[in-house]
Amino acid sequence: MNALLWMLLDLLLAAMLLGLGWAAVATRDLKRGVALFIAFGLLLALAWARLRAPDLALAEAAIGAGIAGALLLAALRSEPQGGQPAAVPSRVFLLTLNLFSVLLAVTVAWALLSALAMGDSVRLAQPVTEHLSQSGVSNPVTAVLLNFRAYDTLLELAVILSAVLGVLALGPARPGYRLPGPVLYGLIRWLVPLLIVTGGYLLWVGAHAPGGAFQAGATLAAAAVLLRLGGVDGAGLPAAVVSRWLLAAGLLAFLAVGLLVTAFGYGFVQYPPDLAAGLILVIESAATLSIAVALALAYIGGWPSRRAQSGSLHTHTTEGGTH
């Protein structure tokens, strides 16, 4: 009975995911598409929670729905109203595309089902569990990310950096927002410190519970987004010189640790077992800052202007709000 209920829940969730995903990409009204996409992201976070992937649920909510949603909404600001006049595809093209899509779906589904049936279902979970105690953390996902497959995470930090540098090289930041009214001001005053504390908590707790540098960094970036929405054009970021160092901090910490250990006879990024926990925390802390600054800059769309950086929430509202 229990299993049947779960299956019904799963079917419902799956159907909603497909429905929302379809609606988000098939609509011509971009505003509606973005809103549906954000809802899709949150539903996806629910699916991760259902599938016993709490780290992913946190990350999807914070990054996939949260930051991505903020980026998309900001992009909508300058979209021409009324959507684009859609170029009507020819019937032949549409037919071929639909046929191809159905064929692709069936083929990949069949391959997935047969792959799932092949071999044992444990896969790499076995060696991870065996070596977890040597990794310095007890959250297996953190162990994989920051120890067993740390090299992937190193490159991933480089991916974030390359995207942000690309954004920064394209031109000046987006125009800022006007001064907040009393409700937004009050909300920001409470939320921003709360988000910062939550970010710190997520970073700390990632070693033994769901959490980690990416979720923490995204939470801090969310605080920056809020500040920017509240009219603080600098979004709480320090001056460009310091921000550059913060952007580089995660990778520098990673490389410093990874190379320093080689001086003591270990391999590249091979943590000495008793120091592993501490080293991982150091790397994660630096990475959190880098990710936060990177996502914040990506949201702003460029370096905040010098003048804007001296602004603060207080000076703005004493001028404009009725609070």
What is 66-105 written as a DSSP string? Answer: IIHHHHHHHHHHTSPTT---PPPPPHHHHHHHHHHHHHHH
Choose between 153 and 285: whose C-beta lies nearer to other proteins: 153
Q: What do you get for the CA distance between the two ends of the chain, in Å?
A: 56
Looking at residues 268 to 287 of the shown chain, list those that interact with other proteins (rule: CB under 8 A): 268-271
Choose between 195 and 221: whose C-beta lies nearer to other proteins: 221
Report if residue 128 touches other proteins, rule: CB under 8 A: yes
Of 39, 46, 140, 312, which one interacts with other proteins (CB under 8 A)? Answer: 140
Asked whether the beta carbons of 234 and 95 are under 8 A apart, the reply is: no
Looking at residues 58 to 117 of the shown chain, list those that interact with other proteins (rule: CB under 8 A): 59-60, 63-64, 67-68, 71-72, 74-76, 78-79, 83-84, 86-87, 89, 94, 97-98, 101-102, 104-105, 107-116
Using the contact rule CB under 8 A, the part of the chain among 122-130, 178-186, 190-198, 315-323 near other proteins is 122-130
Asked whether the beta carbons of 233 and 309 are under 8 A apart, the reply is: yes
Please state the closest distance from residue 48 (CB atom) to other proteins, in A.
Answer: 7
Report if residue 174 touches other proteins, rule: CB under 8 A: yes
* Alpha-carbon span 190 to 310, nearest angstrom: 21
Choose between 114 and 322: whose C-beta lies nearer to other proteins: 114
Of 147, 198, 219, 317, which one interacts with other proteins (CB under 8 A)? Answer: 147
Of 205, 209, 248, 275, which one interacts with other proteins (CB under 8 A)? Answer: 248
Q: Which residues does 87 contact at the CB level (< 8 Å), separation at least 6?
A: none
Asked whether the beta carbons of 76 and 34 are under 8 A apart, the reply is: yes
Of 42, 136, 137, 167, which one interacts with other proteins (CB under 8 A)? Answer: 167
Tokens of 292: 């936060």
Report if residue 170 touches other proteins, rule: CB under 8 A: yes
Choose between 92 and 115: whose C-beta lies nearer to other proteins: 115
What is 227-294 written as a DSSP string? Answer: HHHTT-TTTT---HHHHHHHHHHHHHHHHHHHHHGGGGT--TT---TTTHHHHHHHHHHHHHHHHHHH
Please state the closest distance from residue 106 (CB atom) to other proteins, in A.
Answer: 9
Choose between 203 and 291: whose C-beta lies nearer to other proteins: 291
Place of tokens 């009214």: 181
- The CA–CA distances, whole Å, from 275 to 19, 137, 147 equal 48, 11, 12
Of 42, 137, 141, 280, which one interacts with other proteins (CB under 8 A)? Answer: 141
